[in-house]
Every structure is written in structure tokens, then in C-alpha cells.
Amino acid sequence: MRKQILTNFDAKAILVLIISCFFLISYGYSSHKENTKSSLKNNNYSLTNNSFNSIKAKSDKFFTLDKVIIILSHELDPKSKILNVQDYIENGKSFIPIFSSPEKFKESTKGADLGKKIIEINPYLLLSVLSGKETLRINPTLSDETYFNASDLKQIYKSEIESFLAKLPK
């Protein structure tokens, strides 16, 4: 399955995706950073050492991978700077499914064709383009299924995200 995912993209499409994500980050990062600081200050929200360590221990096995699998809600448009990630609603709550491998994707979906494009993406790049309000559901329906708040992960992996973004072409 991995070869199929990678061969669906040509080098130009991958470059466009990376550049598009970079522009999204550049455009919204500074205002999002200010909004996040403001909302964290207003809500007096910060992770305690115990919750930080607990979440990091659970999330490291997924967010230290080179790539994770996501589902796009719309095909990639080479002229656009937007990456539309598919979310789903369960019990009235939205979540974004993320898969740790192509095999986990296939197992979770039971091999069904969802009619949507799937891509591999660096987990830090993915976290960087999220607003922080999302719920991420890793490997839905599988034995290692785990839920995370994007805001927690953005706090936990802040230095890794910044380091990854600094390496992107400018």
C-alpha cells in the first residue's frame, strides 16, 4: 500500500504540497501564535508535568514517526495553498483520523475505498497547520486507538515543530 500512496504523487505534486503547507504556516502562524497565547492565558490552561508526561508517553510512538497517513477532504490543487484534511463526526463530536502506517489505514478501514485521497505527511508539519482546536484520533477502531487534543500536542512538540519548519525551503 505504501508504494501505491507514494506513486500516486509525482515529484512536482509533493513539492507543491510542501510549499502549500509552508505558505499556510507562514500566513497564519504569527496570528495563530498570538491567539493561542491569548487563549491559553485567558483560560489559565497549561499542561501539568504529570499530564504533559502522560500525553507525551502515549503520543511519542505516533508523533516521532517520519510520516503519518491522513485523508484529504478534497484533491490537492497545485494552484492552492490549502490542505483540506478530512474530519468525521461521531456522537456529535468532530475528529481527524490519523494512521501510523498504510497497514493501519487498511486495517482500520477494512480495505474499503473511501473515495478520498490519502497522503503521507510529516506529523510535525500536520500539527503546525492545525488550529489547536481539533481532536485527533490515531488509528481509529484499532487496538492502539488513541485520542489527542491538537492543542496539547502543539504544546508538547513545539520545539520539534519549530525545528522542522526551520528546515523547510524558504
Q: Which of 31-40, 58-67, 86-95, 104-113 has the lowest mean pLDDT?
A: 31-40
Q: Which of 10-19, 36-45, 117-126, 150-159 has the lowest mean pLDDT?
A: 36-45
Q: What is the pTM of this model?
A: 0.69
Q: Is pLDDT above 60 for 89? A: yes
Q: Taking the alpha carbons of 162, 97, 38, 46 in that order, is the dihedral positive or negative?
A: negative
> Percent of the chain having pLDDT more than 90?
51
Mean confidence (pLDDT) of the chain: 77
Residue spans of the domains in the chain: they are 2-167
Each residue's pLDDT tens digit, 20-29: 444 444 334 3
CA 84 to chain centre: 11
| Rounded Cα distance, 10 and 133, in Å | 32
Phi, psi of 60 (to 5 degrees): -55, -35
Q: Which of 41-45, 55-59, 123-127, 143-147 has the lowest mean pLDDT?
A: 41-45
Q: Is pLDDT above 70 for 61? A: yes
> Percent of the chain having pLDDT more than 70?
72
